[in-house]
C-alpha cells in the first residue's frame, strides 16, 4: 500500500532539478519530503504535493486596438488542476480598445476567487 503514498516531483528551485520524493503518512495528514538538496527544495516538495498552484497567462480578443490580442493573467495563482479550464473559459472573451493595464476582464474566473486582468494598455489603433 505504501507505493500509492509515494509521489515524485522535479524541483524547480535551480537547474540541478533534484528528484524529490514525497511520502504521505498513513492518515494522509502529513508528508515527508526526501531527495532535496536545500531548504527551498524541501518546501517546494511539500507545497507542490499538497496544494500546487499556477498563475495563468493567456490572451483575449480585442477589437480596434494596435494588436488583435490583449494579454491577460490571473490576479493570483489558481489550483494547478484548473489551469486548462481557466484558459478555456476565457477563450471566447472579446473586449474593445482602449483597455488599461489592470482592468478586470473576467471577475472571479470559474469561482476561483481570482480575476483575469489585462496586463498591458491597449490603445485604440
Partner 1 sequence: MITPEVRQLAPRYDVVVSGAGPAGMAAAVGARERGAERILLIDREREAGGILWQCIHHGFGLHHFGEELTGPEYAERCLRQVTDGGIDVLTDTYVYDISPDRTLTLMSGSHGMRQVRAGAVVLAMGARERTRGAIRIPGERPAGVLTAGLAQKFVNMMGLLPGRRVVILGSGDIGLIMARRLTLEGVEVLGVFEIMPYANGLNRNIVQCLHDFDIPLSLSTTVVDIRGRERVEGVTVAPVDQALRPDMSRAHDIACDTVLLSIGLIPENELSRRIDLRLDPVTSGPVVNSTMETSIGGVFACGNVVHIHDLVDFVSQESLLAGRAAGDYVTGRRPPADNIRLLPGDNVAYCVPHTLSTDREHVVYMRVRKPMEKCTIRFGDVFSVKVRYVFPAEMVNITMKPKFLENFHGDSLRVDVVQR
Partner 2 sequence: MLYDVAIVGGGVIGCAIARALSRFRLRVVLLEKECEVGFGTSKSNSGIIHAGHHAAGGTLKGELEWAGNRMWDALHEELDFGFARNGELMLAMAGDQLPVLEHYRRQGIERGVTGLEIWDRERIHREEPAISADVVAALHAATAGVVNPYEVCFSLIESARRNGVALLVDSPVRGIARDGDGTFALQTPGGAVPARFVVNAAGLYSDEVARMVGAGGFSIHPRKGEEYLLDKRLKGLVRNVIFPCPTPQSKGILVIPTYDGTLMVGPTATFVDDKNDRTTSAKGAEEVFAAVRRLVPGISERDCIAEFAGLRAVADGEDFIIGPTAVRGFVNCAGIQSPGLTSAPAIAERIVAILKDEGLAMEPNPEYEPRLRKRVRFAALPMEEQARLAEEDSRFGRIGCRCEQVSEREILDAIHAGARTLDGIKFRTRAGMGRCQGGFCTWRSMQMLSAELGIPMTAITKRGGASWIVCDREEGDAA
Which spans of this chain sit near partner 2 (rule: CB under 8 A)? Answer: 61, 88-89, 91-93
CB 85 within 8 A of CB 94: no
Residues of this chain, 20-39, that bind partner 1 according to CB under 8 A: 37
Q: Which is nearer to partner 1, 34 or 88 (CB)?
A: 88
**Is 105 one of the binding residues for partner 1 (CB under 8 A)?**
no
Smallest separation, CB 92 to partner 2 (Å):
4
Q: Is 119 helix (H, G, I), strand (E, B) or coil?
A: coil
Rounded CA-CA distance 11/5 in Å is 19
Smallest separation, CB 90 to partner 2 (Å):
8
Rounded CA-CA distance 105/90 in Å is 9
Q: What is the largest CA-CA distance in the chain?
A: 62
- Give the torsion sign (CA, 29, 109, 84, 119): negative
> Which residues make up the interface to partner 1 (CB under 8 A)?
9-17, 37, 54-59, 61, 66-69, 71, 73, 80, 83-84, 87-88, 91, 101, 119-121, 123
Amino acid at each position: 500500500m505504501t507505493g500509492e503514498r509515494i509521489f515524485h516531483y522535479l524541483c524547480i528551485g535551480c537547474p540541478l532539478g533534484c528528484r524529490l520524493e514525497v511520502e504521505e503518512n498513513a492518515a494522509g495528514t502529513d508528508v515527508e519530503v526526501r531527495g532535496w538538496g536545500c531548504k527551498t527544495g524541501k518546501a517546494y516538495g511539500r507545497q507542490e504535493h499538497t496544494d500546487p498552484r499556477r498563475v495563468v497567462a493567456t490572451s483575449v480578443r480585442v477589437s480596434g486596438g494596435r494588436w488583435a490580442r490583449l494579454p491577460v493573467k490571473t490576479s493570483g495563482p489558481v489550483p494547478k488542476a484548473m489551469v486548462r479550464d481557466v484558459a478555456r473559459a476565457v477563450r471566447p472573451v472579446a473586449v474593445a480598445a482602449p483597455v488599461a493595464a489592470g482592468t478586470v476582464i473576467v471577475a472571479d474566473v470559474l469561482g476561483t476567487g481570482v480575476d483575469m486582468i489585462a496586463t498591458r494598455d491597449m490603445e485604440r489603433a
